[in-house]
């Protein structure tokens, strides 16, 4: 198995498989709050809207969320789709047993595994979501992951991540303190932004994987890339 290389920019708690389980659980709960209030959930919904705009009511689709964390985004996706008459069946993938347990306890069946060796057959799921996963990876690893996601998905892929910005890096600690984030999440949030992308950079990396994606800037200093695989 070839291990995916991590970004050389900084270090985050969730980079470390041996991180303290209590610290991981606390950080994941605060990341879920950040998704709700600071644009992560909105970015995910925007991506799904673009992929599912022609899907009829009554459709039933599987959604694989890579690096699902506490499972908050697939739960929000299920609720969003239900209002549009679409049934989403969520599946999580997590290398952290702590995260996998949190996601499963919240109703998202989650496989413990790593994106470096995705334990799914080609075209075995309809949709693949990778939210705030890409910035953890070195460029060559992200290119490989994008190609793997394309092979997995029958319908399409959403990559939602952070838009690198000095203003965002300055503003996140302020917002994080207002939301009472823990010390690790405050520190890692700034590192995540520093690891983020500009739209042309993300588009070029995906093109290197043979993907011609639409890349959109969204509120909360987010970028959303979508592409169909049918």
Domain ranges of the chain: 13-228
Q: How far apart are the first and last CA of the chain?
A: 28
Tens of pLDDT, residues 51-102: 999 999 999 999 999 999 999 999 999 999 999 999 999 999 999 999 999 9
Closest by CA to 205, choosing from 140, 133, 117, is 140
- The per-residue pLDDT for 139 is 97
SS (H, E, C) the chain: CCCCCECCCCCCHHHCCCCCHHHHHHHHHHHHHHHHHCCHHHHHHHHHHHHHCCCCCCCEEEEEEECCCCCHHHHHHHHHHHCCCCEEEEEEEECCHHHHHHHHHCCCCEEECCHHHCCCCCCCEEEEEEECCHHHECHHHHHHHHHHHHHHEEEEEEEEEEECCHHHHHHHHHHHHHCCCCHHHHHHHHHHHHCCECHHHHHHHHHHCCCCCEEEEECCCEEEEEEECC
4 pLDDT tier (thresholds 50, 70, 90) = confident
What is the C-alpha to C-alpha distance for residues 216 and 200, in angstroms, rounded to an integer? 10
Q: Over 80: is that where the pLDDT of 191 sits?
A: yes
Q: Kindly tell me the burial class for residue 83, based on how many C-beta atoms sit within 10 Å of its own C-beta (0-12, 13-18, 19 or more).
A: exposed
With a CB cutoff of 8 Å and minimum separation 6, the contacts of 83 are none
1 pLDDT tier (thresholds 50, 70, 90) = very low
Residues 13-228, CATH architecture: 3-Layer(aba) Sandwich (3.40)
Q: Is the pTM of this model over 0.85?
A: yes
3 pLDDT tier (thresholds 50, 70, 90) = confident
- The per-residue pLDDT for 147 is 97
């Amino acid at each position: 198995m070839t291990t995916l290389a991590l970004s050389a920019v900084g270090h985050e708690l969730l980079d470390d498989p041996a991180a303290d389980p209590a610290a991981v659980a606390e950080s994941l709960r605060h990341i879920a709050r950040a998704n709700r209030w600071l644009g992560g959930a909105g970015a995910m919904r925007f991506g799904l809207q673009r992929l599912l705009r022609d899907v009829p009511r009554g459709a039933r689709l599987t959604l694989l969320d890579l690096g699902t964390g506490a499972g908050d985004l697939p739960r929000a996706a299920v609720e969003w789709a239900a209002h549009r008459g679409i049934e989403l069946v969520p599946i999580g993938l997590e290398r952290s047993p702590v995260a996998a347990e949190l996601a499963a306890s919240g109703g998202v069946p989650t496989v413990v595994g790593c994106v470096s060796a995705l334990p799914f057959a080609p075209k075995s799921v309809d949709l693949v979501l990778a939210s705030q996963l890409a910035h953890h990876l070195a460029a060559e690893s992200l290119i490989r992951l994008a190609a793997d996601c394309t092979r997995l998905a029958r319908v399409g892929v959403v990559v939602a991540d952070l838009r690198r910005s000095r203003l965002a890096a300055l503003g996140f600690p302020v917002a994080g303190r207002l939301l009472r984030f823990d010390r690790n999440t405050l520190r890692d949030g700034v590192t995540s932004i520093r690891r983020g992308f500009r739209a042309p950079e993300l588009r070029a990396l995906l093109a290197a994987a043979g993907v011609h994606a639409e890349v959109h800037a969204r509120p909360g200093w987010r970028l959303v890339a979508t592409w169909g695989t049918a």
